Structure 1
């Protein structure tokens, strides 16, 4: 197994998700569903690391990817011009994706998995809604919210299939990569809702750059230590993750 095999596996999972969500009208007006390659990698991590893998696991990974796509569509909705054709279709695409992943889950007949995923959706959405609430949060509370948004559904997936040993590497990596993305956006003049709200929690001695960079450095140090000492992952996967981390410096 090498980086090409890992990337091909991610692309195959992405294709499977696209096939489940395909709709010509939505494709024309809203484009392909938004999928995060880093999240897809961690959905596949147990498989890539040699865990027993069957069709139920494959369907579950596809379903979590579909849930992420649905939530991403709803996250696109702007408060202004929400009545435009594109915005209306974006709302519909999120609803359509929601219907498709519940349809796929219903076909499995696995009520316990449906319950787990539903719990994850609720927890994730509760944190996402904090961006629109007037309550002032601390920096750590914002970071914990972002962590839940990025990782909660995969944590529920890991929990259901008893893959909790991958939680540490998954949660730290996805938080690191999201923070790095937020910082790049900010430095390029794109102030996201998350950054805008976090700025209101800074004291007069702090800046967005300094706070995020400090957290990024802490996560990189922790991840490198984990990869150096842990025997959980194959060496090829450790190398792949190290390359992901390296782009955040």
Structure 2
């Protein structure tokens, strides 16, 4: 087994090496890597029975897409202050650099089908980000669906491409919960949270208790869906065993 699969730690280090552009590191914050998504991506690819070199290649390239999206999101969510304009411009360029690097790495291997799949994932993420920030939802379910897509579309496209489709819904739900919990902490600090603004708009209420009740009910409902999925598909347990090895 050790000859077939590369260690998660080694592959993670390869990703960080790609991110260490000397100019960007000098002037902007080091990019944040979502280690949970990194571990899930590794587990998806390992579940697809790929060889070490393939796993390393795809983990690095697909995470570059995620990091590019996260880097651009970081710029759009920050207010511009005096002296920050250059930093913002460099952060945008860094996001473009990571995006271009992923495309270059995949095109070198002629992974045209995967490039198209990830492009579709990027399109879906951006469409649902617009919906979230424009608050176009009529129901809580619509908003939660959007959050799941924003947080997991790249992983789901990877599942489709490598025929690991049985974990897609579980991954969607897990990352929807993670985003909701993150947004809840922002809400508690009385900072701007697009998710909780959506809760308030849909409920037509700013009442903190009412909003928190709906948040808690949403978390409970999604967790119940995860439990049902895991009971119905024993293959998901195998996937999570692989995930534990990575983490």
Above 0.5 in TM-score?
yes
In the alignment, is residue 188 of structure 1 matched against residue 189 of structure 2? yes
In the alignment, is residue 208 of structure 1 matched against residue 211 of structure 2? yes
Task: For residues 8-42 of structure 1, give each alpha carbon's deviation from its aligned partner in whole angstroms, at most 9, with x where no partner exists.
Answer: 72x44432222222212212332222221221121
Other-structure match for 1:53: 50
Other-structure match for 1:172: 173
Kindly state the Cα deviation for residue 48 of structure 1 after the two structures are TM-superposed: 5.1
Task: For residues 180-214 of structure 1, give each alpha carbon's deviation from its aligned partner in whole angstroms, at most 9, with x where no partner exists.
Answer: 22112212333323322442222348733112211
**Separation of aligned partners in 1, 2:183 and 2:135:** 21
Other-structure match for 1:40: 38
Unaligned runs of 5+ in 2: 1-6
Other-structure match for 2:21: 23
Other-structure match for 1:66: 64
In the alignment, is residue 227 of structure 1 matched against residue 224 of structure 2? no
Kindly state the Cα deviation for residue 125 of structure 1 after the two structures are TM-superposed: 0.8
**Separation of aligned partners in 2, 1:122 and 1:175:** 18
- Are the counterparts in 2 of residues 30 and 89 from structure 1 also a CA contact under 8 Å? yes
Kindly state the Cα deviation for residue 239 of structure 1 after the two structures are TM-superposed: 10
Kindly state the Cα deviation for residue 124 of structure 1 after the two structures are TM-superposed: 0.9
- SS for the counterpart of 1:66 is helix
Kindly state the Cα deviation for residue 134 of structure 1 after the two structures are TM-superposed: 6.1
Other-structure match for 1:112: 113
**TM-score using structure 1 length:** 0.82
Which deviates more from structure 2 when the two are superposed, residues 145-154 or residues 186-195?
Answer: 186-195
- SS for the counterpart of 2:50 is coil
Kindly state the Cα deviation for residue 136 of structure 1 after the two structures are TM-superposed: 4.9
Aligned pairs, how many?
Answer: 234
- 1:117 and 1:215, CA in 2 relative to 1: closer, same or farther beyond 3 A? same
Kindly state the Cα deviation for residue 236 of structure 1 after the two structures are TM-superposed: 8.8
**Separation of aligned partners in 1, 2:199 and 2:187:** 12
- 1:24 and 1:227, CA in 2 relative to 1: closer, same or farther beyond 3 A? same
